[in-house]
Amino acid sequence: MQPTDGARPGDRGSTLAETLTTVETITFDCYGTLIDWKGGLTQFFATTFGRAAPRGVDELFDLYVRTEAAIEAGSYRSYRQVLGEVAQRLAEHLHIDLSPNSSNTLAEALPRWTPFVDTGDALVRLKRRYRLGVLSNIDRDLFGATSKHFPVAFDFVITAEDVRAYKPSPAHFHRLLSEFAERQTTLHVGQSPFHDGIPAGQTGLAFVWINRYKQCNDTMVTPLAELPDLKSLADAADAV
């Protein structure tokens, strides 16, 4: 296995500023990086589980993340199916009977999740200089609905449906490098060292961690840079 650090200083400049001068393509994780994933889930927890949800939602978020990752690690199924199964398992954990229709609520709500306040302006600024793409654990129709929230059109989108696998499988990144971009001139940006940093490093791509939720990095991934939001990346690009 290749090293899992995202920096790859032997391949190009070892700082973010140096890398941004050679990059031609920037790819993004979507939910949690561009879209307020946690805000959308918070609303789902409140409307679906109500008082049965823990008073502190972090416990439920952690359970959600672990459950989703376990399902996605199995044989491929659509993300709609993944979300339905996650909702059912969370309900069982909370001792709630969830109807099949309620299980579908999460997938139906996802297209209404909105971007972070800095996302739109940052994408517009980055689009002036770079090709932009998305690598997402999503179904193509669900991303199509989400894309209406963005002020720019992405040059390409690679979904889990396209590659029949979920990150941290490197399948999205193999498709990226075989069809859309060159390793030496591509930077990947995401909020999860686990889902995005690991496969980026495995395929030799520089990785920038957008740590919007002030999380701890419990992986072996060493990102090229850790930034609090997408505005900071656009500011860095404008400065070089």
Catalytic machinery residues: 29
| Amino acid of residue 181 | A
Q: Is 36 left (phi over 0), alpha (psi -120 to 50) or beta?
A: beta
Cα four-point dihedral sign 181, 174, 184, 138 = positive
Assign 3-state DSSP to the chain and report helix, strand, coil percentages, each to 5.
Answer: 50, 10, 40
Note if the bond before 193 is cis, omega within 30 degrees. no
DSSP string for 120-167: HHHHHHHHTTSEEEEEESS-HHHHHHHGGG-SS--SEEEEHHHHT--T
